[in-house]
Amino acid sequence: MTLVQLRHLVVLAEAGSFVQACKALFLTQPALMRSIQALEDELGGRLFDRLGRRIALTPFGQEAVQRARRLVADAEALKQTGKGLHAGLIGSLRVGLSSGPGALLSMPLMLHMAEHHPKLQLQISRGNTAVLIDALREQLLDAAVVDVRSVRPSADLQFSQAFELAAGFLVRPDHPLVQLGRAVTLDEVRAYPVASTPLSDEVARILIGRYGPQANPDDMVTLRCDETQSIVEAARRSLAIVLTAEAAAPGLVPLDMNPSLNATARFGLVTLARRQEAPALRLLREQLPMWVAGLHDGVMAP
Per-residue pLDDT averaged across 26-54, rounded?
A: 90
Supply the pLDDT for residue 298. 59
CA distances from residue 206 to 47, 153, 209, 291 in whole angstroms, order as listed: 81, 19, 5, 27
pLDDT at position 129:
93
Average pLDDT, the chain: 91
99 occurs within a structural domain = yes
Number of domains in the chain: 3
Same domain, 273 and 258: no
pLDDT at 296: 72
Q: What is the arithmetic mean of pLDDT over 60-67? A: 92
Q: What is the pLDDT of residue 164?
A: 93
pLDDT band at 276 (very low <50, low <70, confident <90, very high): confident
Domain extent at residue 144: 92-163+266-297
- Are 158 and 280 in the same domain? yes
Closest CA to 284 of 54, 149, 97: 97
Q: What is the mean pLDDT of residues 132-159?
A: 93
Tens of pLDDT, residues 223-237: 999 999 999 999 999
Do 71 and 21 sit in the same domain of this protein? Answer: yes
One domain for residues 77 and 214: no
Please give the share of the chain, as a percent, with pLDDT higher than 90: 76
